[in-house]
């Protein structure tokens, strides 16, 4: 299995690679546009803010590569947010692979922002990424911004309001939660991604 993890500067690179290793995949971490363009599948992880992350992708010459990539692509956490058209965080133009604008989570009584910890997934429709993941399974989140529930949202979550937890549009997919830290549900989601086209 050949897979490239895009080095977008996120602090979760090591944990994502280790989670893939536990599934029998030795992922290659790369910021090389040639290698990323040729990869059979990509994982785009991310932790941090949209503006600096997009600035890094621009500086590496990866924005157009990721916009044109037509094989399985999985965004994780900030990486998922970057798949959308724009983010309210720093008024940042993103990759535009999915329609919609990422916005800040709103504080609510008894709820803190950022959203940190375990929360339940609510399935909205069947999806290859969610095969074997049941209604109400737990996933681990760390984020202050989130994508809206749109036509590509296959699972939602709620933290002061509903938001997209898992998205899927053809080969473009994303998880707002951290599958590498989400026990059984996270392992299954990554395994489902690895099985695509295998």
* Predicted TM-score of the model (pTM): 0.96
For residue 108, give both structure tokens.
């609510």
CATH of domain 4-195: 3.40.50.880
**77 assigned to active site:** yes
Q: Of these residues, 89, 137, 168, 180, which one is catalytic?
A: 180
The candidate with the shortest Cα–Cα distance to 113, out of 160, 174, 181, is: 160
Q: Is 178 a catalytic residue?
A: yes
Delimit the domains of the chain by residue range. 4-195
pLDDT tens digit at each of 198 positions of the chain: 589 999 987 767 889 999 999 999 999 999 999 999 999 999 999 888 999 999 999 999 999 999 999 999 999 999 999 999 999 999 999 999 999 999 999 988 889 999 999 999 999 999 999 999 999 999 999 999 999 999 999 999 999 999 999 999 999 999 999 999 999 999 999 999 999 866
* Active-site residue, from 26, 35, 77, 143: 77
Q: Which two tokens stand for residue 96?
A: 């535009």
Which residues does residue 28 pair with via DSSP β-bridges, in sequence order? 4
Backbone angles phi, psi at 176, to 5 degrees: -70, -30
- Give Cβ neighbours of residue 58 (< 8 Å, ≥ 6 apart): none
In the set 135, 153, 178, 195, the catalytic residue is 178
Active-site residue flag, 26 = no
């Amino acid at each position: 299995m050949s897979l490239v993890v895009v080095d977008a500067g996120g602090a979760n690179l090591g944990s994502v690679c280790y989670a893939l290793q536990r599934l029998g995949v030795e992922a290659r971490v790369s910021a090389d546009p040639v290698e990323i363009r040729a990869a059979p599948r990509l994982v785009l992880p991310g932790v941090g803010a949209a503006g600096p992350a997009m600035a890094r992708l621009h500086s590496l010459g990866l924005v157009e590569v990721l916009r044109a990539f037509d094989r399985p692509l999985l965004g994780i956490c900030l990486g998922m947010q970057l798949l959308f058209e724009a983010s309210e965080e720093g008024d940042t133009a993103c990759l535009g692979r999915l329609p919609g604008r990422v916005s800040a989570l709103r504080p609510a009584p008894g709820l803190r922002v950022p959203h940190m910890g375990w929360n339940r997934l609510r399935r909205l429709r069947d999806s290859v990424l969610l095969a074997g993941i049941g209604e109400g399974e737990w996933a681990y989140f760390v984020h202050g911004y989130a994508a809206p529930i749109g036509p590509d949202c296959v699972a939602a979550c709620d933290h002061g309001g509903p938001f997209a937890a898992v998205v899927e549009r053809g080969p473009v997919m994303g998880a707002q939660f951290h599958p590498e830290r989400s026990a059984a549900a996270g392992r299954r989601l990554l395994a489902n991604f690895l099985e695509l086209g295998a």
